[in-house]
Amino acid sequence: MQAAGLLLTWVLLRPASTQQCHPSSPGSILRFTDTHAEIRVPALHRVPSSLDPLYSLVRHYLDLIQQNPLPTELLRAALNDPSSVQTSQVVQYELGYIICAAVSLLFTVTVPVAGLCFCYCRSQQRCGGRLRAHRRSLGCRRRCLLICLSITSLIILTSAICALVTNQRVKEQMEPGLGAVPDTLRTLRQHIANVPQGVQMVVDQFEVPRQQIISDLAGVSRSVGLSIHAQLKAMTYAALADLKDRAGDLQTSLHHLQILDKTVRVLTAARAELEPVLREQRQRVVALLDDPRCTSCASILGRAQSLELGADYSKVPSVEKVLKTLAGLPRSDFAEMIRQGNGTFNSIPELAVERMAQVIQELREEMTKMSEKVQSIADGFPLPDYTWHVSEALLKAENRSQPFLREVERFEWYRWIMGMALCSIILLITACNVVGMALGTYGLSKREDPSDYECRGEAGAKFLMVGVGLGFLFSWLLILLVFATFLVGGNIQTLVCRNWVNQEIYKFIDTPGNLPPSMNLTRQLNLRRDSNLSTTYRECKSGAGLWEVLQLEKSYNLDEHLKTPKYTANFQKRLGDFTTHLGDVRLLRSEGRQDLETFARSGVDEVDYGRFQEEMKIPVVQTSLPGLARSLEGLQKMQRNGTVAGRLATEAQALWQMQNSTVQTQEALVVKLGESIRFLSQLAPHLQERVKTTLATTASVEAQLPLQAQQILRQEIGCFTRKELRYFAQYLHWVGHTLREDVASCQPLATALDNGRVILCDRIADPWNAFWFSLGCCTFFLIPNIIFAIRLTKHFRPIRNRLISTGSEETCPFHIPRVTALKL
């Protein structure tokens, strides 16, 4: 019992602050409808291709051709005062391209002139034609020429295929790439124009946390009441149970005391009545047993002489004083008192609903006001007044770009047709080489005599000469197309793409004075005065909002507009100021307390219950009446004297009657007395402590219950407030993220710039440069191809003269006919 009291005291003294808020359930995470910008600028990326090694090789080649950095001074002069541009500056920067132009010009002039000279020489039969003599080394030379021509043909074929593929890829990428420019500009304008609608859609999503909070408000009061009841019920129920036990002790103790007093009185009176009867019975039995006629009666004479009374309850302590003190108790109805206390405590949840109804209604009204405050995010959003500069600049760029793009598309069509035609000619030259080598080699294998004419060998030689003729005829067109595309594509790569990747172009644009006033992008796009294109690009790339990069007359700080206290201050204050009393429970009224105090000082614990127990150990009669009666009955059977035998039977019957009528009744009273003594003796040592503990516990619970209930109320309201503030924080965080990352993000501007680089450099310039590089490889390998084809042609035609000797074959100026031996 003492341990239970200590446990209850610990429960009472435990601070409510140690209680923790309930963990957030999955439902506490709000789910917002996806609200994205209706107009998007999809990000483009470089697509891995099997031609990437070729693209990389071309870029390294162009880096060798053009090693100069971005010509800042030259570009500044060209943009601000084109007439001041000096030729020497252009030559110095384009020196690598000029050298390539000189090589191309030399090739353009030299190869056709060489072709004309070769044609003239062939017409005079001074070059080409047939070999004049057969030597042993001709087979080795022929094989070397075949291998060299095969290698050059394979290189030309591979380069031609690459040229065809890249030429087609340029065409495939050019049309969507050019179309993406106005589409992207138009998309940017639409994105900016749709920002207000997007912001309003984001603000309208406040309905999600508002409905969730209103739903939580509907159940918060009962939840608070149930939490108070759940956390305090152990303490309250323990106090009520303890009080019920003390009331039971009072009732039971009073009952047993009354039984004790009454039983002692009855036993005392019964002893007084039994004493003369027992003395008279003893005298008769002793006289009978002492009669000489009684046979064998001396054996039980001693037992009969000791027949006398035992326990004397007149000697036990009196409990009349205790009963007098407890007279009239209990004056209060403990059962009704406990029922009322239990009912009052169990009504706390309903009481909480009633007491919190007013503040719940005020919080609902506050949610309506909060919706109006959140609407101010959309109403105060500054973009519509400051984005018209950007929209105007984008519209102007869109209108100016379309004619230029149409011209580029038209010239690209011509380039593609010329590229396909020249690639077809190169494939035709390669086909002539392959057919010529195949026919010539086959003809040589079928010819027995080198001087014999073989039509297939001659046809192979002619195919080779057709390829040579086509090479001489179209080489100048090939080199012109190569140089034109090389000059355009190379400068795009080295002047634009290379400096676009390392952002040197942005630095050039940002440097004051580099661009003319009409091309001031900071002013045209209405960017911040302390900003530039590089800074704006980086900010937009990292997810800044449009309002953060524009030149606003008044600073607009979204973070200030999205601070939770700005919207939740009143909501939080109303909950913080709310207070009420929910734990006023009366467990023990004053009359009940007086009853228990009277019970404690009544002296129940001062009675010597040990004296009762000692007296109860003494039997009512010292000698067992049933035993003595059975002994007399046994002696009766042994008597020869009928008179003695009859008297023995009579005395035995009298003893049985005394036992059954008087002694057994007293023994039953002694048993009943023992039950009361046992209860009271067990209660007495702890009575003072139990009553004292019960009174102290009850008083402590009555005092602590309101305080504990108030602490739990504050804690539950605090947990509820934090939970609802998390809803606000989730929403405002989502608003900031959505506005910055999607609806009002300036990231599409950075994405558009990146897309422009991907389209121009990765998807158009790379295959464009790979095209002229592959076509140039074909063109320059035509020179060794022509040489090897001309040299190989002689080996496919019959040799003019042949000399046979026993030692070796030598060249002779005349032909010795073949002699055939005849058999006789």
> According to the 3-state scheme, what is the secondary structure of 655-693?
HHHHHHHHHHHHHHHHHHHHHHHHHHHHHHHHHHHHHHH
Residues 546 and 480 in one domain: yes
Interval 408-436: pLDDT, tens = 888 889 989 999 999 999 999 999 989 98
Residues 617 and 543 in one domain: no
Looking at the domain assignment, is residue 65 inside a domain? yes
Looking at the domain assignment, is residue 809 inside a domain? no
Residue matched to tokens 């390294």: 60
Integer CA distances (angstroms), 424 to 137, 174, 380, 526, 676, in order: 37, 21, 65, 53, 127
pLDDT over 50 at 338, yes or no: yes
Interval 430-482: pLDDT, tens = 999 899 888 888 777 766 555 555 677 778 888 888 888 898 888 889 999 99
Predicted pLDDT at 167 = 92
Identify the band that residue 6 occupies on the pLDDT scale cut at 50, 70 and 90: very low
CA distance 280 to 123: 186
pLDDT over 60 at 548, yes or no: yes
In the 8-state DSSP scheme, what is residue 517?
G
Tokens read off for 783: 């020179």
Residues 325 and 287 in one domain: yes
pLDDT over 80 at 341, yes or no: yes
Predicted pLDDT at 383 = 67
Mention every residue, 6+ apart, whose C-beta is less than 8 A from residue 195: 37, 381, 383, 384, 387, 546, 743, 744
Looking at the domain assignment, is residue 433 inside a domain? yes
CA-based nearest residue to 509, from 491, 494, 489, 524: 524
Mention every residue, 6+ apart, whose C-beta is less than 8 A from residue 345: 229, 232, 233, 236, 585
Looking at the domain assignment, is residue 598 inside a domain? yes
**Domain containing residue 252:** 216-354+586-699
In the 8-state DSSP scheme, what is residue 550?
B
SS3 of residue 255 by DSSP: helix
Which of 699, 714, 734 is a domain's end point? 699
More confidently predicted of 510 and 778: 778
Looking at the domain assignment, is residue 481 inside a domain? yes
Residues 114 and 166 in one domain: yes
Interval 620-648: pLDDT, tens = 888 888 888 888 888 888 888 888 888 88
Predicted pLDDT at 447 = 62
Identify the band that residue 156 occupies on the pLDDT scale cut at 50, 70 and 90: very high
Residues 315 and 242 in one domain: yes
Residues 99 and 225 in one domain: no
Tokens read off for 112: 């056709």
Residues 406 and 527 in one domain: yes
- Residue 234 identity: A
CA-based nearest residue to 440, from 692, 144, 796, 820: 796
CA distance 593 to 572: 44
Tokens read off for 675: 């039950």
Residues 331 and 460 in one domain: no
CA distance 274 to 667: 13
Average pLDDT over residues 375-401: 77
Predicted pLDDT at 61 = 92
In the 8-state DSSP scheme, what is residue 817?
P
Residues 340 and 399 in one domain: no
Q: How far is CA 755 from the centre of its chain?
A: 31
Predicted pLDDT at 11 = 47
Question: With the C-alpha atoms ordered 616, 617, 621, 625, is the resulting torsion angle positive or negative?
Answer: positive
Interval 247-296: pLDDT, tens = 888 888 888 888 988 998 898 888 888 888 888 888 888 888 888 888 88
Provide the mean pLDDT of the chain.
Answer: 82
Residues 332 and 414 in one domain: no
In the 8-state DSSP scheme, what is residue 329?
-
Predicted pLDDT at 165 = 93
Looking at the domain assignment, is residue 520 inside a domain? yes
Residue matched to tokens 């030429």: 167
- pTM comes to 0.65
Total structural domains within the chain: 2
Tokens read off for 219: 């159940």
In the 8-state DSSP scheme, what is residue 552?
-
Residues 399 and 534 in one domain: yes
Predicted pLDDT at 774 = 93
Of 130-139, 355-364, 560-569, 622-631, the range with the lowest mean pLDDT is 130-139
Residues 175 and 223 in one domain: no
Looking at the domain assignment, is residue 68 inside a domain? yes
Of 193-207, 214-228, 797-811, the range with the lowest mean pLDDT is 797-811
SS3 of residue 584 by DSSP: coil
More confidently predicted of 26 and 168: 168
Looking at the domain assignment, is residue 221 inside a domain? yes
Average pLDDT over residues 355-378: 88
DSSP string over 725-776: HHHHHHHHHHHHHHIIIIITBSHHHHHHHHHHHIIIIIIIIHHHHHHHHHHH
